Amino acid sequence: MSASQYRIVQSSGASRIAAALGLIVLALLVLAPYWAGRADLRLLGEVLLYLSLASLWNLLAGYAGLVSVGQQAFVGLGGYALFGLTMFGGLHPVLAVLVAGVIGGLVAMPVAALIFRLRGAYFAIGTWVMAEVFRLSAAQVSALGGGSGTSLPTPVVQSLADGRDAREALSYWLALAMALLALAVVYGVLRSRNGLALTAIRDNELAARSLGIDIWRTKFTVYVIVGALTAATGALLFLQKLRISPDAAFSANDWTAFVIFIVVIGGIGTVEGPIIGVIVFFLLRETLADLGTTYLIILGMFAIGVMLLAPKGLWGMVRARSDIQLFPLRRKVVAKPKD
Amino acid sequence: MSPILRLDQVSKAFGAIKVADSLSYELAAGEALGVIGPNGAGKTSMFNLITGTMAADSGRLFLGSEDITTLSAPRRCRSGIARSFQVPQPFGGMTVFENALVAATQGADMALGEAEEHCLDILEQTQLMAKANVPAGKLTLLERKRLELTRALCARPRVLLLDEIAGGLTEAECGALVETIQSVHASGMAIIWIEHVVHALLSVVERLIVIDFGRKIADGEPRAIMTSSQVQEIYLGIGANA
């Protein structure tokens, strides 16, 4: 048989069913402002923004091996960029979110050049220190309320859309668009040549270098993309909250600890993991939040349980039993049917 | 004709141990050069110096007319030097085909579509098509050696470096692999091949060099080299006067 008798397939039966179901879920989500109450809509918006953060962190840590515990630096940067650009630059909030993303990407470049000198645990600590530097810097900006923070002025909020319902709907749709964009970018990167390179680096750095992969540049690209999208997500998070302070914007707990929890219990290093994780996390939060601190104890025990019993997360457990992929990344060589 | 690869007085030492001692030679386009020498003579180190995973202390390396002495390992691969590792280094979690794709999209800088076609052709040539969808971590030794060759070829090199690719194989496996390498060489590929399995080596190469203590101690027609007393003494451990 000659090579021309083979072809490459990427989709599978499962992925086609998943795509069909995904479209139905997407339609329901797009229409949410018409069927969900105000509180539910806010919750859904938050879920979607967490999905964005989790997918991005998964690309960073699960695929590029860059275990950052300082992504709150970019969440906070995006939030503060939104406030600064709308309050002093006179930008429309939606435009400000886009510019916040660009700023996030630009800031990620020198940050990467600096912290890429660190390896493993030192890299993680470096990212955290960087986030603290950002937090302390933000507290120095008196125009944005210094250490106690500030609220988004009413005219800025009103410029978003007429009426509270319309504003909340728009804010929700922006969150939905952000989550879709993050998923699309993550999936797109992984399917591209860069994605192959990332997986190769993860498997064997020596062979990767010898086959022409510039490891530094590959990781740098991922870090900058993730920085940009994380900042845009941060801007949207604080567009929902309408209030910002250094402690809330650069919270390691909210923007990194919970995000890591989501990715790890869902399944790190899989596109599906963060989706599963974010659903589980919010189910736990919404059903147990009334328990106060007990809720955090249960959350911690749940995380420990998953790590012990299913170290590759819930989706990893599924993958161990069947080679199912909802977002197919495998390229299978199949023989063309004889005609 | 100008050489495709040239080493000019390349030296490298770790403390008192010289792994390359003023190493100089040229490889002509399309030539197959064999390298032999005792264990620890500096053969693999020479490959590390050529591919850039190890930096030379002094001397210069040229690929065609380009001075590659200061280029990084990835850049040298993109310029046209690809190698197989003595101990196979597969991307264990990726399939054979994906391993090949990495080499074609990165080393040869091809777009995905073009790379897929190229990899299918190479897999056909290296007889790994049947294993295309198997994770590389699950391959047998022979298949891993073939994968090393496949990946190197998918990077579309101008110079192919083979490091003991026949080592550890059975006689039959070795014969099949030699046929594949012969077909690669017949297509005009310049090859440098380090090998202890001398009969496999001699069935492909037109020229042989002998390395000992990082020095080139012989260079010439394979059969003349193998029968020279100097080689028999140093490499095979047979006393010249015995």
Work out the percent of chain A whose per-residue pLDDT is above 90: 70
Asked if the model's pLDDT at residue A292 lies above 50, the reply is yes
Q: Summarize the confidence of residues A82-104 as an average pLDDT.
A: 95
Q: Do B116 and A332 touch (CB under 8 A)?
A: no
Going by pLDDT thresholds of 50, 70 and 90, the confidence category of residue A265 is: very high
pLDDT of residue B240: 46
To which residue do tokens 């080493």 refer?
B7
Whether B74 has its CB under 8 Å from any CB of chain A: the answer is yes
DSSP string, B29-65: TT-EEEEE--TTSSHHHHHHHHHTSS--SEEEEEETT
pLDDT digits (tens, 9 = 90+) for B171-200: 888 998 999 999 999 999 999 999 988 889
Taking contacts as CB-CB distances below 8 angstroms, the residues of chain A near B75 are 212, 214
- Residue B238 in this model has a pLDDT that exceeds 70: no
Cα three-residue angle A169-A172-A174, rounded to 5 degrees: 110
Domains, chain A, ordered by start: 3-335 (1.10.3470)
Q: How confident is the model at residue A159 (pLDDT cuts 50, 70, 90)?
A: confident
Q: Which of A47-61, A313-327, B62-76 is predicted with the least confidence, judged by mean pLDDT?
A: A313-327
Segment B144-174, tens digit of pLDDT: 999 999 999 999 999 999 999 998 888 888 9
Instruction: Report the pLDDT value the prediction gives residue B74, as an integer from 0 to 100.
Output: 94
Q: Single out the residue of A39, A77, A84, A74 nearest to residue A53, CA to CA.
A: A74
pLDDT grade for A318, boundaries at 50, 70 and 90: confident
- Do residue A206 and residue B105 have CB atoms under 8 angstroms apart? no
The answer to whether B15 and B29 have CB atoms below 8 angstroms apart is no
The yes/no answer to whether this complex scores an ipTM above 0.90 is: no
pLDDT at B36 over 60: yes
Helix (H, G, I), strand (E, B) or coil at A332: strand
Helices (H), chain A: 13-30, 32-35, 38-57, 72-87, 93-115, 120-138, 154-160, 164-191, 193-203, 205-210, 215-241, 246-249, 252, 258-266, 273-288, 293-309, 313-321
Residue A2 has pLDDT above 90, yes or no: no
The reported pTM is 0.88
- β-bridge mates for residue B27, sequence order: B5
The answer to whether the CB atoms of A3 and B85 lie below 8 A apart is no
Residue B65: CB atoms within 10 A of its CB come to: 8
Nearest by CB to A197, from B75, B102, B124: name it: B102
pLDDT of residue A116: 94
A193 to chain B, any CB pair closer than 8 A? The answer is yes
DSSP track, B133-166: TSBGGG--HHHHHHHHHHHHHHT--SEEEEESTT
What phi-psi label fits residue A124: left (phi over 0), alpha (psi between -120 and 50 degrees) or beta? Answer: alpha
C-beta atoms surrounding A19 within 10 Å = 13
Amino acid symbol at A31: L
Confidence check: pLDDT of B237 > 70:
no
Cβ-defined contact of A207 to B151 (cutoff 8 Å): yes
> What is the enclosing helix (H) or strand (E) of B219?
strand B215-220
Q: Is the pLDDT of residue B242 over 50?
A: no
Plot region of A212 (φ>0 → left; ψ -120 to 50 → alpha; else → beta) = left
What's the whole-number mean pLDDT along residues A183-187? Answer: 96
- B53/A6 CB distance under 8 A: no
> How high is the mean pLDDT of chain A?
92
B51 and chain A: CB distance < 8 Å anywhere?
yes
d(CA A80, CA A227): 15
Beta-carbon separation of B93 and A215 below 8 A = no
Q: Which residues of A touch B108 (CB under 8 A)?
A: 212
pLDDT at A1 over 70: no
Which residue does chain B place closest to A193, by CA atoms? B105
CB contact under 8 A, B117 and A3: yes
Smallest CA–CA distance, residue A204 to chain B, in Å, is: 6
User: B209 with B20: CB under 8 angstroms?
Assistant: no
- Interface-testing mutation among B94, B128, B147, with chain A (most A C-beta atoms within 10 A): B94
Q: A191-206: per-residue pLDDT in tens?
A: 999 999 999 998 999 9
For residue A313, what are its two tokens? 């997360």
**Which of B73, B101, B121 has the CB atom closest to A196's CB atom?**
B101
Would you state the torsion angle of the CA atoms of residues B164, B170, B175, B179, taken in this order, to the nearest 10 degrees? Answer: -50
Distance from A199 to chain B by nearest Cα, in Å?
8
**Is B95 in CB contact (< 8 Å) with chain A?**
yes
A-chain CB neighbours of B111 within 8 Å are 193
A3–B82: do the CB atoms touch at under 8 Å?
no
Across chain B, mean pLDDT equals: 90
pLDDT at A293 over 90: no
d(CA B96, CA B90): 9
pLDDT, tens digit, 9 for 90 and up, residues A97-141: 999 999 999 999 999 999 999 988 999 999 999 999 999 999 999
In whole angstroms, give the CA distance from residue B201 to residue B177.
Answer: 11
Higher-confidence residue of A289 and B145: namely B145
Q: What is the pLDDT of residue A323?
A: 72
* CA-based nearest residue to B128, from B141, B146, B142: B146
Comparing alpha-carbon positions, the chain B residue that sits nearest to A331 is: B98
Residue A147 pLDDT class (50, 70, 90 cuts) = confident
Are the Cβ atoms of B97 and A207 closer than 8 angstroms? no
pLDDT above 70: residue B225: yes
Distance separating alpha carbons of residues B99 and B92, to the nearest angstrom: 9
Asked if B53 lies within 8 A of A197 by C-beta distance, the reply is: no
pLDDT bucket at A47, cuts 50 / 70 / 90 = very high
Question: Scanning the structure block, which residue is given the tokens 């020279």?
Answer: B228
B151 touches chain A (CB under 8 A): yes
- Whether residue A197 and residue B91 make contact (CB cut-off 8 A), yes or no, is no
Nearest CA in chain A to B86: A207
Whether residue B23 contacts residue B216, with contact meaning beta carbons closer than 8 Å, is answered with yes
